[in-house]
């Protein structure tokens, strides 16, 4: 026997007992209560839960229409079957329209068991559907809560790129109300070039099924302001693995771009200031040794040209050029009479001159350059066989930049006039580095230097 909680809206006790016997006949074990008025029905509905209501259509103080109105008023979803001794077909259909699940004539109760079974199955299905809908709604609310709390914009589009879903963060970034943003395409909030860029990126994801790389672009907000956006995105596929759209995350990097721009401007100003300071130092050296005026600049130019031919990183090239510009800074510590002596230096005097590499290093070592300037200055007279000074370093112990500066310094010094001798000329200078290629000077650097002079017509600016 199937337990069944039944509320009987019936004025006849005999008819009520007949309904109970019929329910038992069809396999139900009814627990019931009988009411005859609106007050009694209200109390019963508010006091207990009922599986079903069997309601006579005509009662002395009540009717089936009144019962259905009361159920709606109390916002209850209990199935109700009209069980009446006499009711027109038109009135029965009207009851169905007003919310009754079925109607049965008291003279034909053989349909009651089947009607109740069908109504209860329908009710159970409705309950499951409602539970599923509530679970889905809770899941969606949880999903949206998570999306709204991540701090990044989340969106979904169809394959044409039209918005089909997005979180509140994306609305705030785009500065559009939800109702306007829904269905919008990138063509409506970017310029033509950016829209094409976005289209090509999503097209590649569609063709390869691989998530898109980080894409930076600029959007135009509702108020006309522009923002820098960074986006990552991927395909959305249905249960049949068919692509149906795109989903992605975006973040507003406008402030980051602004900081990056300001940082770059500040860096450029610092580099300009640093360059001006270095040039001033270089000029100070040359005022004490007028015969070598321009030497440091020309060495720096040749070293720069060699480094570019070697495809060194731009930052390393900049550091090398700056080191070349002040590589003889240590000569500030050498007496002027030795620097400008018109005859050959004595052994002691030459040893004093050789201290300028260490002196330059000592001046520069505590300055926080972004490049190893002090070390390059220290090593620009080292030779790869260890015969150089001041530390007699060998090949792999010498910085590449120092090796480049060494070759440039030798070539320029021999090709230029000195107080104790006239210029030896570029040819003799190139012969020197050729003769000692792989012995004193790095072979690759010498080869590039020779190519600059012989094939690319490099020359020193006076």
Confidence of residue 295 (pLDDT cuts 50, 70, 90): confident
* Token representation of residue 348: 């002691």
Tell which wins on pLDDT, 264 or 75.
75
Confidence of residue 292 (pLDDT cuts 50, 70, 90): low
Residues carrying CATH 3.30.450.20, the chain: 150-252
- Identify the pLDDT of residue 142: 60
Secondary structure in 3-state letters for 149-184: HCCCEEEEEECCCCEEEECHHHHHHHCCCHHHHCCC
CA distance 305 to 288: 28
Class of 150-252 per CATH?
alpha beta
Tell which wins on pLDDT, 364 or 261.
364
CA distance 432 to 158: 71
* Token representation of residue 401: 């930049």
**Strand 153-158 versus strand 243-252 pairing type:** antiparallel
Domain spanning 284-454: which superfamily?
Answer: Hypothetical protein af1432 (1.10.3210.10)
Residue carrying the six token digits 């620097």: 339
Percent of the chain with pLDDT over 90: 52
pLDDT at 445 over 90: yes
**Strand 163-166 versus strand 153-158 pairing type:** antiparallel
Confidence of residue 386 (pLDDT cuts 50, 70, 90): very high
Confidence of residue 296 (pLDDT cuts 50, 70, 90): confident
- 120-168 tens-digit pLDDT: 998 888 888 888 887 777 766 666 666 666 778 899 999 999 999 988 8
pLDDT at 335 over 90: no
* Token representation of residue 63: 């009717």
Confidence of residue 36 (pLDDT cuts 50, 70, 90): very high
Assign domain 2-129 one CATH number from 3.40.50.2300, 3.40.50.720, 3.40.50.1860, 3.40.630.30. Answer: 3.40.50.2300
Residues carrying CATH 3.40.50.2300, the chain: 2-129
- Identify the pLDDT of residue 144: 63
- Identify the pLDDT of residue 189: 92
Percent of the chain with pLDDT over 70: 92
> Residue 227, SS3?
strand
* Token representation of residue 152: 């990044």
Contact 415, 298 (CB under 8 A): no
> Residue 238, SS3?
coil
């Amino acid at each position: 026997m199937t337990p069944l909680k039944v509320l009987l809206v019936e004025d006849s006790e005999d008819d009520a007992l007949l309904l109970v016997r019929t329910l038992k006949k069809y396999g139900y074990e009814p627990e019931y209560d009988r009411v005859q008025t609106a007050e009694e029905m209200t109390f019963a509905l508010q006091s207990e839960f009922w599986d079903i209501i069997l309601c006579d259509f005509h009662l002395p103080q009540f009717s089936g229409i009144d019962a259905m109105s009361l159920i709606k008023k109390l916002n209850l979803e209990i199935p109700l079957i009209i069980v009446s001794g006499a009711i027109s077909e038109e009135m029965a259909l009207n009851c169905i329209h007003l919310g009754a699940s079925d109607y049965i004539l008291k003279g034909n109760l053989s349909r009651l068991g089947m009607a109740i079974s069908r109504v209860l199955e329908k009710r159970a299905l409705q309950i499951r559907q409602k539970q599923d809908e509530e679970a889905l709604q809770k899941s969606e609310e949880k999903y949206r809560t998570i999306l709204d709390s991540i701090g990044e914009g989340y969106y979904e589009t169809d394959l044409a790129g039209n918005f089909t879903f997005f979180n509140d963060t994306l609305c705030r970034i785009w500065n559009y109300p939800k109702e306007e943003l829904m269905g919008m395409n990138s063509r409506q909030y970017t310029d033509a070039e950016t829209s094409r860029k976005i289209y090509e990126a999503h097209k590649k994801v569609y063709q390869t099924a691989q998530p898109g790389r980080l894409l930076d672009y600029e959007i135009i907000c509702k108020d006309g302001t522009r923002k820098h956006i960074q986006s990552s995105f991927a395909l959305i596929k249905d249960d049949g693995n068919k692509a149906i759209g795109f989903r992605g995350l975006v973040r507003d990097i406008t402030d980051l771009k602004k900081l990056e721009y300001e940082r770059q401007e500040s860096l450029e100003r610092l580099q300009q200031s640093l360059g001006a300071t270095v040039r001033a130092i270089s000029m100070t050296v040359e005022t004490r040794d007028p015969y070598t005026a321009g030497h440091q600049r020309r060495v720096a130019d040749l070293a720069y040209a060699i480094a570019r031919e070697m495809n060194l990183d731009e930052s390393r090239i900049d550091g090398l050029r700056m080191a070349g510009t002040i590589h003889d800074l240590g000569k500030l510590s050498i007496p002027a009479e030795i620097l400008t002596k018109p005859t050959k230096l004595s052994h002691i005097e030459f040893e004093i001159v050789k201290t300028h590499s260490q002196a330059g290093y000592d001046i520069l070592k505590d300055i926080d350059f972004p490049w190893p300037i002090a070390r390059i200055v220290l090593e620009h007279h080292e030779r790869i066989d260890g015969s150089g000074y001041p530390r007699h370093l060998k090949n792999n112990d010498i910085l590449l930049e120092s090796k480049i500066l060494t070759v440039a310094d030798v070539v320029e010094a021999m090709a230029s006039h000195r107080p104790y001798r006239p210029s030896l000329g570029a040819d003799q200078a190139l012969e020197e580095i050729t003769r000692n290629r792989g012995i004193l000077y790095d072979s690759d650097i010498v080869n590039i230097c020779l190519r600059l002079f012989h094939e690319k017509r490099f020359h020193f600016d006076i």
